[in-house]
Structure 1
Amino acid sequence: MQLLALGVVSTVLLSGHLVNGEVESLENYVHLSFDKLRGSRYETATKGGKPSARLRKRADGYEEIEIINEQNFYSVELEIGTPSQNVTVLLDTGSSDLWVSGPENPYCMPVSGTQDDFNPLSWITRSTLVSGSATATSSGSSGIATMDCSEYGVFNSSRSSTFRSNNTGFQISYGDQTFASGTWGTDTLNLGDANVTGFSFAVANRSNSTVGVFGIGLPGLESTYTGATASSDNSYQYQNFPMKLKAQGTINHVAYSLFLDEPEAHSGSILFGAVDHSKYSGQLYTIPLLNPYQNRGVQNPIEFDVTVQGVGISQSGSTKTITTTKFPALLDSGTTLTYMPYQLTELIAARIGARYSSNLGFYVMPCPADNDNTQLLYDFGGFQISANLSNYILGSSSSSNVCYLGIIPLSDSNAIFGDNFLINAYVVYDLENYEVSMAQARFNATQSQIEVINGSVPSAVKAPSYSATWSTVQSITSGGGAFTSGAAGSTTTATSTTSKTSQHKAAGDKLAPTSIFVLVAWAFSFVV
């Protein structure tokens, strides 16, 4: 695939850190605020900022370009067991299991020195399961201690009077050979004021990640069901965290709302069982999830794929249609950048004056002016989400005015809409009805307007083209009138306020270098 030749991927990780302990559990919903941290590793990440490329002039007349693989991290501190033990985990919508590190993990021993050549968190930023079999434990070779996990906590099941082992094995591995293996069990889990009893999770006694994972995705992604075990007699689905919240009456519907806030914001939030009307503008529209794996015998969607029915661009007060060819897109809060079919990426690049550099693996372009108001427009079947072009720009500190486009071309028809799209949208994930509701995100709201979800998302309506979803692969072609200013039948545009088993994700999972260095001529001027 084209993606394999790009050489670098900038990724985002939906995981979470409590903001001053700000977790709310009120009647029929749970509100969690998390810090947004950015860095090449969770251990050294800091608050705020946007992905960037750093350019330095060398004495030999060349410019050294360092594209940093910066990620967003949102970590959550859980209290598990009796008495409670504090464990930090990474909240992830792209997986569905909670697992925590145990004290017997041979990789988790205090070591001296730095780990600049090791990114233990890169795997969860893409959340793609490779195998549920025992071969997962072969990753990481000998198990020599390489990490200090004590800073983020480990769970010792023998010290909890309420822990009950299921006596069944847990195995999971990811696209970059990171893995975890251990044993399933149940215990009490506390997240702020939210208390869950008899909660199923795994204790990993062997893993090459410093922290565990708090997956809240669809049940079809649970490691007890997906991968090699899905067709066996031992495969099963269980009540993960969102499902368990409903089962015990904490929420009324298995759904949650995600608000990443603007790019420079230091925090975001997730709302289990409710929607906050103050976090979006315009109408909240509902679209169905796709099931790309139905022909493989998968009955229900297992990830958040939706249909994109067109792409447009707004420049200097006028809008033009780029394409009205339908294509599937994965709404992936575990990815920083956006990945699109090659033909579409080329069409967008031509509109903004960007050219692809095979040496850099990115589209390069002159940096837009600070007051540039160019927006990309995405039609989801009768409603649009707009995204400022600035959200897709990887800037540089170089005097040569070179910037990089945070849209990566793929060789197939699928797309992955990562963080640089999702920050523009308020997204409600309905895990019961297999739907997603979206509206334009609204920033700087002064007062929440929270409404509990009972059966359907309140105030949301079905998109006009709810049933006209993607079904077959088509070549991206330009043209159409869906976005053109004044065109008949143009769709409504909101105003901008600023898998695990997926093949198209798996290719990207193999790419997570901390940085890439490329030498280009000092006279480099967009001729690539």
Structure 2
Amino acid sequence: LQFQTIFSLTIHKKPRDVAHCLYNESFDFQVQYYGDIELGTPPQKFSILFDTGSAELWVPSAQSGSGLCSNGSVRCYNHNASSTYKSYGKRFEIAYGTGAATGYLSRDTFAVGDLTLQHQIFAEATSWDTGGTVTSFDGILGLGFPYQSHYHATPIFYAMKHHYFEKNAFAFYLTKNGESGSEVIFGGWDESKIASKQLTWIPLSSTKTYWMFSFDSISAGNAAVIRSENRHIRKQAIADTGTSLLVGPQSDVDELANHLGAQKIFDTYYVVSVSSAKTLPPLVFTINGLNYTLQPKDYAFLVPEIDEVLLGIMGSPIDFWIFGDTFLSNYYTIFNVDMLALAFAPLA
């Protein structure tokens, strides 16, 4: 492999979950950031969700027979059209918080930005379910640790292992409100997007699955609503670019929502009235003694159709918090594999 120092990708954004030069869009008041990769020879292009909450690469397969392939709703990989395709001969199955994909493993040339890898393992999905969510991406590139991968379909970590990058790190800059300019950088980070050159690193509490870390508390204004029991039993969270909202254990979220005066609707979301939204406090996330603050405009969103304000938090039957794009879009987030640490850097 040719040594590369760093390269960036534009991402595009859609409201629900996302990542790369990233595009962004919104569905159901959630956000997705997605960007482009290529597979095969000649290259076949796909829009991919860059997801730090999972660890596999998969794309829809033309072998699925899905009408979504034939009508162009998604771009599907056709291994018969690639001169560098090799069968790998194993079945593939993965489940997410919402959605799933099944199929089989293949090998082919993989490219993202300036990175090209030969004989990369990935999954061709012959069946996939987006959990009822409208999406603008075709597949998913997991950026979770390889320990989480059952199939070795982890091209970015393969490139790190083979010394492709100057730094074994990647970073996300996520814009808001449909603005352009979102990006993911592999091989380092962009200091011009950071307010201070002094980074505060948050050590990971686990590297066996997610980008997980411990935190002290979540406060509404000056009131600590969610707290770690003590310094030995601490609340846990993961940084997940593939999740739109702030998601937490149902009991924690109910307590926080109650403190904010929110009502639950559709058995999932929390809303406050337009008048009550004017007095919402900032949410303060204390991590290793340092405060990371979301102002009301960062976590509360007007829904004109119901004349209510939706809070960007959601409960789930899990025992940790997920810091999704509602949180991450307010910071420049660096995922440092060498240091086994994260940084949420204030934006320049």
The answer as to whether partners of 2:51 and 2:240 remain within 8 angstroms in 1 is: no
Aligned residue number for residue 162 of structure 1:
84
| CA–CA separation in structure 2 for the residues paired with 1:184 and 1:104 | 12
Aligned residue number for residue 186 of structure 2:
272
Aligned residue number for residue 298 of structure 2:
391
Note closer, same or farther for the CA distance 1:372–1:48 as it changes in structure 2 (3 Å cut): farther
| CA–CA separation in structure 1 for the residues paired with 2:265 and 2:81 | 55
Aligned residue number for residue 282 of structure 2:
375
> Which residue of 51, 67, 72 maps to 1:109?
67
Residue 28 of structure 1 deviates from its aligned partner by: 0.9
The answer as to whether partners of 1:171 and 1:223 remain within 8 angstroms in 2 is: no
Determine helix, strand or coil for the equivalent of 2:63: coil
Kindly indicate whether residue 316 of structure 2 is the aligned counterpart of residue 435 of structure 1: no
1:80-110 C-alpha deviation (Å, 9 max, x unpaired): 222222333332222222122232212x236
1:357-399 C-alpha deviation (Å, 9 max, x unpaired): 466544332326898684211111022211112222131326x
Residue 272 of structure 1 deviates from its aligned partner by: 0.7
Residue 74 of structure 1 deviates from its aligned partner by: 2.7
Which amino acid letter does the alignment assign opposite residue 199 of structure 2? L
Aligned residue number for residue 217 of structure 2:
310
Determine helix, strand or coil for the equivalent of 2:298: helix
Residue 426 of structure 1 deviates from its aligned partner by: 1.7
Residue 335 of structure 1 deviates from its aligned partner by: 1.8
Determine helix, strand or coil for the equivalent of 2:156: helix
Q: How many residues align?
A: 330
| CA–CA separation in structure 1 for the residues paired with 2:78 and 2:178 | 38
Note closer, same or farther for the CA distance 1:160–1:69 as it changes in structure 2 (3 Å cut): same
Residue 37 of structure 1 deviates from its aligned partner by: 1.9
Residue 259 of structure 1 deviates from its aligned partner by: 1.4
Note closer, same or farther for the CA distance 1:248–1:410 as it changes in structure 2 (3 Å cut): closer
Determine helix, strand or coil for the equivalent of 1:199: strand
| CA–CA separation in structure 2 for the residues paired with 1:361 and 1:95 | 23
TM-score of the pair, normalised by structure 1 = 0.55
Residue 26 of structure 1 deviates from its aligned partner by: 9.6
> Which residue of 245, 252, 267 maps to 2:166?
252
Question: Which runs of structure 2 are paired with 1:118-197 in the superposition (5 Å)?
Answer: 148=70, 150-174=72-96, 178-185=100-107, 187-197=108-118
| CA–CA separation in structure 2 for the residues paired with 1:83 and 1:288 | 42
Determine helix, strand or coil for the equivalent of 2:158: helix
> Which residue of 193, 198, 201 maps to 2:119?
198
What's the C-alpha RMSD, in Å, of the aligned pairs?
3.3
Kindly indicate whether residue 38 of structure 2 is the aligned counterpart of residue 38 of structure 1: no
Structure 2, unmatched stretches of 5+, are 18-22, 131-136, 229-233
Aligned residue number for residue 92 of structure 1:
51
Aligned residue number for residue 81 of structure 1:
40
Query: Which has the higher Rg, Structure 1 or Structure 2?
Result: 1
The answer as to whether partners of 2:16 and 2:243 remain within 8 angstroms in 1 is: no
Determine helix, strand or coil for the equivalent of 2:334: strand
Determine helix, strand or coil for the equivalent of 2:103: strand
The answer as to whether partners of 1:290 and 1:301 remain within 8 angstroms in 2 is: no
Determine helix, strand or coil for the equivalent of 1:161: coil
The answer as to whether partners of 1:242 and 1:255 remain within 8 angstroms in 2 is: no
Q: Which has the higher contact order (CA 8 A, sep 6+)?
A: 1
Residue 239 of structure 1 deviates from its aligned partner by: 6.9
1:171-205 C-alpha deviation (Å, 9 max, x unpaired): 334455632212332x2222243322232222334
Determine helix, strand or coil for the equivalent of 1:284: coil
Kindly indicate whether residue 155 of structure 2 is the aligned counterpart of residue 241 of structure 1: yes
Aligned residue number for residue 147 of structure 2:
220
1:97-124 C-alpha deviation (Å, 9 max, x unpaired): 2122232212x236xxxxxxxxxxxxxx
Structure 1, unmatched stretches of 5+, are 1-24, 41-45, 50-67, 111-146, 225-237, 292-299, 443-528
Residue 420 of structure 1 deviates from its aligned partner by: 1.1
TM-score of the pair, normalised by structure 2 = 0.80
The answer as to whether partners of 1:338 and 1:407 remain within 8 angstroms in 2 is: yes
